[in-house]
A and B are shown apart, each in its own frame.
Chain A
């Protein structure tokens, strides 16, 4: 059974069909990428999976359970975490606290325990702090733990967001254009980081425009155009798929690109 199964999911905004009967699945342990031109419906598809949008029809199954139409926090609790295209850190709190917020759904202290600082709450708080710090260390930002999140550079914010998503202890991690706004060196580091994340047993599904990154790290690629799937397969197969080439370069360039590759 696949970790994530998306079946015939559809969502329209007014007359525009953002996601049109898309089906695909993600196997546990994979790195899978979704690519496609701007407006192809990639982010909408992510929002449908992570619960920010409700599908009009179709099914989304995660670990064998239907999650289509569930609330985002329930989906996060189920083990599906995401990052956003524009880093959405909580800018008023520190970097460390941002990552600790990621642990919210794996911890349980409530109003009474927190206001009275019960021994259990203090133990949990220490554990959250330790584990958040080690995740910051994982993305290379442990030195910035005390800084306000608003003080970080763009690329660093992306990394903190990644650490925050990892702190939810996900089985599946959705990354929405993780390399956008990063320089080449940062993008290389990101690629290695994503592979490291996969190696710890977390499945990764990403939307990305940086083709060299996608081709480097993905096990499988799904190509969307105008809300519909036009191709799915290994990086090799996708690179040579005439439909994909037509979408990206226009059909006239079909021959030009194949001759370039040889």
Chain B
């Protein structure tokens, strides 16, 4: 139609987002490499173990940050999704399925290398699920469960998802504590490494410490970039529109219930992914991962990092979880954690990276105004 044959859009807005993303990625890579080199120089490379774990936990937090900051939905069940990922992997890769070997489907699965023979801790041969198969099943299970919880809760406006996920998390915790298959209060140990070829393996062996640190960093970085792309796209705009004004978003043609559900499921999948990876890394999983405290901690970290800042959430989460895992907070762990978070939230409600971001933003705004006055002149 004739009337919107107006001026061609300048790509400048898009470009500045991409430039900023590139700068942030480079900064993060530099920080991650610097951390490793500094720890090596200080002869404290053993700290990389906790740093790697903190990076895996950060994947949960940025996934949560995505639905909290952009879709306006709070989940108190992310600890449970993490545990579903971790326990699915742990159970399937440590159980012995040799009794099914005689059956035709057992042989088929073995032939397809879904089931593989490996040696358990005592050197005996056992037939267990291959890590990739366990991973696929963990993701599928999370997808189904998250969809089942989210579907009714997200058709409604308001904080129904928070309530539904809180209840769900408590149930999952109780089931894990009470089931022998999940090892009750002991959890599961002896989860094998997840190998990719001969050189790359996700495992806690001290020889693989440095390369596992870089595996975790790469995965977290990839997740960050993908989420960042998503946020600055049609999907991200739709989610922020829903967060801002759900009725108007719906009236503009956005299937609000469906988008909220998809965002929630995506976020739950990231939590489960982190659960799978960390379980391979530490070689086990225990029930505390599913506790309500863990879920609350994830929410607190996402909030403290600035819930609309994926990078802020990642940074805060890595630092605080690292210190916590190193035992800096001792038996006051939760208290120190809480106090730190309260301080961050009350002094810089949009996250500690905000003051830093403001400098950048002021710079950008000046650029924006120049562009605008140019428009006026033309």
Contact = CB atoms under 8 A, between A and B. Distances in A.
Interface of A: 50-52, 71-73, 76-77, 81-82, 84, 88-94, 96-98, 100-102, 104-107, 109-111, 114-117, 121, 124-126, 128-135, 137-138, 142-147, 164-166, 168, 196, 200-201
Interface stretch (B35-43, B212-220, B245-253): B245-253
Contacts of B234: 100, 104, 107, 109, 114, 121, 124-125, 128
B250 A73 contact: yes
Interface size class of B (residues with CB under 8 A): 35 or more
A119 to B, nearest CB: 13
B333 interface: no
A92 B1 CA distance: 30
Interface stretch (B118-126, B143-151, B368-376): B368-376
A196 B227 CA distance: 41
A88 B237 contact: no
A146 B233 contact: no
A124 B375 CA distance: 25
Contacts of B5: 134
A90 B236 CA distance: 13
A132 B9 contact: yes
A146 B13 contact: yes
B104 interface: no
Interface of B: 1-9, 11, 13-14, 226-227, 229-230, 233-238, 240-241, 243-245, 247-256, 262, 266, 368, 371-372, 375-376
A111 B251 contact: no
A162 to B, nearest CB: 12
B229 A102 contact: no
B6 A142 contact: yes
Contacts of B249: 90, 101
Contact of B252 (A71, A101, A121, A146): A101
Given A92-B244, A143-B376, A101 B237 contact: yes
Contacts of A125: 14, 233-234
Given A97-B237, A114-B236, A196-B3, A104 B254 contact: yes
Given A73-B250, A76-B253, A115-B226, A142 B237 contact: no
Given A90-B241, A101-B254, A143-B375, 4 more contacts: A104-B241, A105-B252, A133-B7, A137-B6
